Amino acid sequence: AQTVTQSQPEMSVQEAETVTLSCTYDTSESNYYLFWYKQPPSRQMILVIRQEAYKQQNATENRFSVNFQKAAKSFSLKISDSQLGDTAMYFCALFSNTGNQFYFGTGTSLTVIP
């Protein structure tokens, strides 16, 4: 079975500062993919960043980067130079090749304070 755990229901960060959102997962598969999605108040889910499990190099997308620790099954998201528009729910997700489906965590509500 696949599970994704986000242990921080809410977080806040000052504008221009850096924040890290935590995510741990469990899977029996050897090849899988991990994602971070952002859901602003508009409810539209937006892909932030993704990581292939077989790649050791951490993925980066502009101000967003991940710290992927495969042995520890940890996949944290770092947001640098936080902006007001980063205020949203952030979901960590794992894609299972077996079932062709995503498994999502319960989300972290991030507020960027001006």
Partner 1 sequence: GAGVSQSPSNKVTEKGKDVELRCDPISGHTALYWYRQSLGQGLEFLIYFQGNSAPDKSGLPSDRFSAERTGGSVSTLTIQRTQQEDSAVYLCASSLEVAVSYEQYFGPGTRLTVT
**Site map 21..60 versus partner 1, x via CB under 8 A:** ------------x--------xxxxxx-------------
Single residue of 23, 27, 36, 107 touching partner 1 by CB under 8 A: 107
Q: Which residues inside 75-104 make contact with partner 1, applying CB under 8 A? A: 91, 93, 95, 97, 99-104
Return d(Cα 74, Cα 72) in angstroms, integer: 5
C-beta of 30 vs 114, nearer to partner 1: 30
Q: Could you give the angle at the alpha carbon of 80 between the alpha carbons of 84 and 8, nearest 5°?
A: 75
- Do the Cβ atoms of 96 and 31 come closer than 8 Å? no
- Tell me, by CB under 8 A, how many residues bind partner 1: 22
Backbone angles phi and psi of 82, in degrees to 5: -55, 140
Using rule CB under 8 A, residue 12 touches partner 1: no
Rounded Cα distance between 62 and 38, Å, is: 15
- 31, 43 contact by CB (below 8 A): no
> Residues interacting with partner 1, by CB under 8 A?
4, 6, 33, 42-47, 91, 93, 95, 97, 99-107
